[in-house]
Structure 1
Amino acid sequence: MSTDADSAQVRVVVGRVGRPNGVRGSVFVLPLTDEPELRFEPGALLFAGPPADRELVVDELRFHNGKMIVTFMDSRSREDAESLRHSVLEVNVAAAESPEDPDEYYDRQLHGLRVVDPAGIEVGTVLTVLHLPSQDVLEVRLADGPIRLIPFVKQIASDVDLALGTVTVDAPAGLLEGDDLDGGE
């Protein structure tokens, strides 16, 4: 028997439309997902935000020189493709969906988790995940107010327990000290 919780869906961002490619309606897409082949497979339903504000069905996905090119079923001309430029693309996914690798997480799974030290003492809350060129970083609001950036690497963020809603952080000296990132005192 299926429950509402089992079928709950959340909308997640998977890409941003760039410039048109050619004259047949294809567009370059900047993927904002680690699973572009899954999210942009032919037949996938996507939702384009402003300026397009419409539903799109993927007709074709291909890569050229390391760039992702997508053709949507209702996009058959350069003008159609141009109307999609700058749109953020989203998909609906099951709220309970997780990556196959048990050491990987979707950003949405980490938002709001409590950050605790190895002794289990709460030190803050995850605000967001930043994807920097060198590594992913957790933006954390500490319990006493300031915001800190904590590298999301196994040596520092040693354990994520989604059931408990915690990230265990063994922070090196000084990582949780210093000036507040949001301009506070």
Structure 2
Amino acid sequence: MSDIEVIVGRIGRAHGIRGEVFVDVRTDEPGRRFAPGGTLRMGDKRRPATLASVRWNRGKLIVSFAEAPDRTAVEQLTGELLYDHVPEAELPSEKDEYFDRHLVGLVVRDHTGAERGTVSEVLHLPAQDVLQLDVDGEERLVPFVSALVPTVDVAGGFLQLADVDGLLEDVE
């Protein structure tokens, strides 16, 4: 079984003087990806980033890295992406949850079953996740909620939209 590389976070600003930083989490399963003693890869060169400590404070993830023991060292890391290798076949821990890599590329069908486009990206916005669709070369955004996207068949390679005006075309 092969592994794939996924982005799990972005290093934010330093916190305190002990080498801790805030992390903008980019994974639905931070408990799986950010475990004390675990190693992630960091930046364009994919340098190792060993998690020395991991804690939550008021809903924000704060970590320290063995390779950056003080504030001066971690300030140099601000903005770096964090990567992890995961088994390609790994599934989310909850039913009806999907990893972005499972959704991007799916065929988009309208309520009648007609193929209308593909999922080009999953946007993680503060209010909810949104699917960016490519419909005949035009970008459409659809909130990823069951009322609008009632069917997701990853194995079948498609998702089907509800019968709602304006999802795939402009309404006059």
Residue in 1 that maps onto 2:3:
9
1:24 touches 1:75 (CA, 8 Å); kept in 2? no
Task: Please give the alpha-carbon distance, in whole angstroms, between the structure 2 residues aligned to 1:160 and 1:133.
Answer: 22
1:175 to 159, 167, 170: 167
- Provide the C-alpha distance between the structure 2 equivalents of 1:86 and 1:153, rounded to a whole number of angstroms: 30
Partner of 2:16: 22
Given the alignment, which residue of 148, 151, 155 partners 2:143?
A: 151
Give the superposition deviation at 1:53. Answer: 4.7
1:66 counterpart residue number: 59
Ranges in structure 1 where 5+ consecutive residues have no aligned partner? 1-5, 180-185
TM-score, structure 1 length as denominator? 0.85
Report the more deviating stretch, 113-122 or 100-109: 113-122
> Is residue 129 of structure 2 the alignment partner of residue 136 of structure 1?
yes
Partner Cα distance (1:65, 1:138) in 2 = 28
**TM-score, length of structure 2 as denominator length:** 0.91
Aligned residues of 1:114 and 1:165 also touching (Cα < 8 A): yes
Task: Please report the RMSD computed on the Cα atoms of aligned residues, expressed in angstroms.
Answer: 1.7
CA distance in 1, matches of 2:131, 2:65: 34
| Alpha-carbon separation, structure 1, partners of 2:118 and 2:11 | 32
**Structure 2 spans left out of the alignment, 5+ residues:** none
